[in-house]
């Protein structure tokens, strides 16, 4: 796959997420990640992880989102640029905000703000301060919320080109902070200014938020009828873009106001609307759960396919390498011995030439099946390529590894295949190595020693075992 193909895949992933097709995005990310890993294209790898994290967040799979963002950050530290780091901060903030880990959320925002200032990305800096203000409002720290929001407004003023909506979003937090501080004159003036700003005709969500804020401003001053009217306008606006969770907040506040007004008939109507909304939310959450289960099923299928060899069902080279590297790391801590057995089928080219490639495939499958049945579940067996296989044995001494190799050799010798009235026997050459008192830390080195001994077994007449001393 060339650069142009990878760029197309990156664009596809980004477009799918923008369209809200989160299941398709996650599946496309797996494909992009697989392609990116094969050619070491770090931009593709980063794009896959960040879009996976964002998509998992959007369907409520927060644990998977954190896993994706952890992988993103691991790659980003070595191969990412400053913009990549900013992207990770943005997603991390959303995750910490969702899980209500506000201390971590604020730490993430501080990093985002510092980096945004350095890069002169003032819209990012403004959003960072605004989000910090949002958390402070949740914590009822209105003085801090006001301080952060004012800084956000200052940064919004530095953004080029000028963005009136960026400023208005920050002003919503400024007005909320003033309400919390009991300054109804300043907050009221600010809310009135925002509601009459013509830019709101283009931004329905922000317009609804202004009326929600106005409703709360009235409610704080016990002007319940005015508060109800403002929240009713907000309700109609929110219904136009169908944010059921904001609508739920509004309806709860409207129910409380009906009680305060002692308006039973109006309260009955609002309660009916509220119950209907709760049913809709319940149906959505059931649909979301089904969507999550579908994602998990699809991912399990994709991971299984990406980790296994299509012909034999054994693990493929990339999975073996990745898993063994982790084993070797743990072995160095626990002082464990790991044995590597590399083997291939003797005279396999002659078998292919004489009986055809389909028969050759059958030989490979028979050998795979026989060897798989002879190892423990905790061990690894994979097809390394062509007719070459590799087995990793956990917590095995070199002597035990040699005995296992002898057992494998006998199992392979016992295989009998039939073709055109002929009985075909199979033999193999085997090389065995170990992680040498935990000094070997990478699969490639461990395998290379076994492969050298495999070559030696070939040179010495095949159908035999050579062990690294």
Mind listing the pLDDT tens digit for each residue in 431-465?
A: 999 997 888 889 999 999 999 999 999 999 999 99
pLDDT tens digits along 91-121: 999 999 999 999 999 999 999 999 999 999 9
pLDDT tens digits along 306-329: 678 888 889 888 889 989 999 999
Q: Report the chain's terminal Cα–Cα distance, integer Å.
A: 42
Distance of CA 106 to the CA centre of its chain: 22
417 - beta bridge partners?
A: 424
Confidence band (pLDDT; 50, 70, 90) for 298? low
Confidence band (pLDDT; 50, 70, 90) for 302? low
Of 307, 332, 349, the domain-final residue: 307
Whether 397 maps to a domain, the answer reads yes
Return the pLDDT at 460: 93
% of the chain with per-residue pLDDT over 90: 70
Q: Which residues of 369-385 are buried (b: 16+ CB within 10 A; e: fewer)?
A: eebeeebeeebbbbbbe
439's torsion region: left (phi>0), alpha (psi -120 to 50) or beta? alpha
User: Which residue do the tokens 């590597």 mark?
Assistant: 340
147: Cβ contacts below 8 Å, ≥ 6 apart:
none
Whether 449 maps to a domain, the answer reads yes
Return the pLDDT at 269: 94
Return the pLDDT at 467: 93
Whether 285 maps to a domain, the answer reads yes
Return the pLDDT at 363: 93
Evaluate if residue 21 carries a pLDDT over 90. Answer: no
430 - beta bridge partners?
A: 343, 465
Whether 379 maps to a domain, the answer reads yes
For range 54-76, the mean pLDDT: 88
Of 287, 307, 327, the domain-final residue: 307
The boundaries of the domain holding residue 250 are 203-307
Of 259 and 295, more confident: 259
Q: Say whether both 237 and 291 belong to one domain.
A: yes
User: What distances in angstroms separate CA 135 from CA 104, 123, 144, 217, one per listed residue?
Assistant: 11, 18, 10, 19
Return the pLDDT at 299: 66
Contact present, 435 and 337 (Cβ < 8 Å): yes
Q: Say whether both 326 and 361 belong to one domain.
A: yes
Whether 295 maps to a domain, the answer reads yes
Return the pLDDT at 294: 72
Contact present, 389 and 372 (Cβ < 8 Å): no
Return the pLDDT at 51: 93
Long-range contacts of 133-136 (CB under 8 A, 24+ apart): 133/170, 133/173, 133/174, 133/177, 134/173, 135/97, 135/102, 135/105, 135/106, 135/109, 136/177
Contact present, 368 and 386 (Cβ < 8 Å): no
Return the pLDDT at 39: 87
User: What distances in angstroms separate CA 49 from CA 285, 302, 323, one per listed residue?
Assistant: 25, 15, 20
Contact present, 363 and 426 (Cβ < 8 Å): yes
Of 253, 275, 307, the domain-final residue: 307
pTM above 0.85, yes or no: no
Q: Say whether both 265 and 240 belong to one domain.
A: yes
For range 42-61, the mean pLDDT: 90
Whether 138 maps to a domain, the answer reads no
- Identify the sign of the CA torsion 100, 102, 103, 108: positive
CA atoms within 13 A on the CB side of 434: 22
Evaluate if residue 336 carries a pLDDT over 70. Answer: yes
- Distance CA(311)–CA(325), nearest Å, equals 25
Asked if the bond preceding 191 is cis, omega within 30° of 0, the reply is: no
Return the pLDDT at 222: 95
Evaluate if residue 122 carries a pLDDT over 70. Answer: yes
User: Which range is most confident: 59-63, 182-186, 281-285?
Assistant: 182-186
What Rg, from alpha-carbon coordinates, does the chain have? 32
Q: Say whether both 283 and 361 belong to one domain.
A: no
461: Cβ contacts below 8 Å, ≥ 6 apart:
none
Environment class of residue 286 by beta-carbon count within 10 Å: exposed (0-12), middle (13-18) or buried (19+)? exposed
Contact present, 132 and 96 (Cβ < 8 Å): no
242 phi and psi, to 5 degrees? 60, 50
User: What distances in angstroms separate CA 246 from CA 205, 283, 439, one per listed residue?
Assistant: 10, 16, 58
Q: Say whether both 300 and 337 belong to one domain.
A: no
The residue among 93, 49, 96 whose CA lies nearest residue 73 is 49
Whether 106 maps to a domain, the answer reads no
| Of 31-35, 286-290, 330-334, 414-418, the least confident | 286-290
User: Which residue do the tokens 């003032």 mark?
Assistant: 122
Whether 82 maps to a domain, the answer reads no
Q: Say whether both 363 and 335 belong to one domain.
A: yes
CA angle 280–286–288, rounded 5-degree value: 100
Structure-block tokens of residue 263:
């308006």
What is the secondary structure of 288-353 as a DSSP string?
HHHHHHHHHHHHHHHHHHHHB-TTT-SB-HHHHHHHHHHHHHHHHHHT--EEEEEEEETTHHHHHH
User: Which residue do the tokens 């931009």 mark?
Assistant: 43
For range 175-187, the mean pLDDT: 97
Q: Say whether both 434 and 327 belong to one domain.
A: yes
Q: Say whether both 299 and 348 belong to one domain.
A: no
Q: For position 229, which CATH number holds?
A: 1.25.40.10
Q: Say whether both 279 and 387 belong to one domain.
A: no
Q: Say whether both 342 and 462 belong to one domain.
A: yes
pLDDT tens digits along 228-285: 999 999 999 999 888 888 999 999 999 999 999 999 999 999 999 999 999 988 888 7
Of 290 and 129, more confident: 129
Return the pLDDT at 301: 65
Q: Say whether both 330 and 455 belong to one domain.
A: yes
Q: Say whether both 347 and 390 belong to one domain.
A: yes
**Number of separate domains in the chain:** 2
User: How high does pLDDT run on average in the chain?
Assistant: 91
């Amino acid at each position: 796959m060339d650069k142009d193909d990878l760029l197309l895949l990156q664009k596809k992933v980004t477009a799918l997420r923008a369209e809200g097709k989160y299941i398709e995005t996650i599946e496309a990310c797996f494909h992009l990640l697989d392609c990116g890993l094969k050619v070491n294209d770090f931009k593709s790898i980063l794009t896959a992880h960040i879009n996976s994290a964002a998509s998992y967040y959007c369907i409520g799979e927060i644990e998977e989102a954190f896993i994706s963002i952890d992988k993103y950050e691991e790659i980003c530290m070595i191969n990412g640029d400053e913009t990549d780091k900013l992207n990770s901060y943005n997603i991390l903030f959303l995750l910490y905000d969702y899980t209500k880990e506000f201390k971590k959320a604020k730490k993430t925002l501080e990093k985002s703000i510092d980096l945004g200032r350095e890069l002169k990305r003032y819209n990012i800096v403004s959003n960072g301060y605004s989000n910090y203000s949002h958390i402070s409002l949740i914590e009822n720290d209105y003085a801090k919320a006001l301080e952060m929001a004012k800084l956000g407004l200052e940064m919004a003023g530095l953004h080029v080109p000028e963005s009136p909506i960026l400023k208005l979003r920050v002003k919503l937090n400024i007005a909320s902070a003033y309400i919390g501080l009991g300054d109804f004159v300043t907050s009221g003036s600010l809310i009135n200014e925002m509601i009459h700003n013509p830019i709101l005709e283009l931004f329905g969500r922000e317009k609804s938020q202004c009326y929600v804020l106005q409703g709360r401003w009235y409610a704080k001053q016990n002007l319940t009828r005015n508060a109800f009217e403002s929240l009713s306008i907000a309700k109609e606006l929110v219904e136009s873009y169908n944010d059921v969770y904001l609508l739920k907040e509004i309806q709860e506040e409207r129910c409380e106001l009906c009680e305060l007004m002692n308006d039973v008939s109006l309260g009955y109507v609002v309660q009916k609307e509220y119950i209907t909304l709760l049913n809709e939310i319940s149906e959505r959450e059931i649909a979301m759960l089904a969507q999550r289960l579908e994602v998990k099923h699809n991912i399990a299928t994709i991971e299984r396919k990406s980790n296994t060899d299509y012909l034999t069902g054994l693990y493929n080279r990339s999975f073996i390498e990745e898993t063994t590297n982790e084993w070797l790391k743990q072995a160095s801590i626990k002082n464990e011995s790991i044995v590597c057995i590399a083997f291939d089928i003797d005279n396999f080219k002659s078998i292919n030439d004489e009986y055809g490639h389909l028969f050759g495939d059958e030989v490979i499958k028979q050998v795979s099946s026989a060897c798989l049945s002879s190892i423990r579940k905790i061990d690894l067996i994979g097809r390394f390529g062509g007719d070459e296989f590799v087995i990793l044995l956990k917590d095995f001494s070199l002597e035990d590894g040699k005995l296992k190799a002898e057992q494998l050799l006998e199992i392979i010798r016992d295989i009998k295949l039939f073709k055109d009235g002929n009985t075909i026997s199979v033999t193999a050459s085997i090389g065995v190595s170990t992680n040498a008192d935990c000094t070997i830390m990478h699969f490639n080195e461990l395998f290379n020693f076994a492969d050298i001994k495999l070559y030696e077994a070939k040179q010495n007449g095949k159908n035999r075992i050579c062990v690294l001393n």
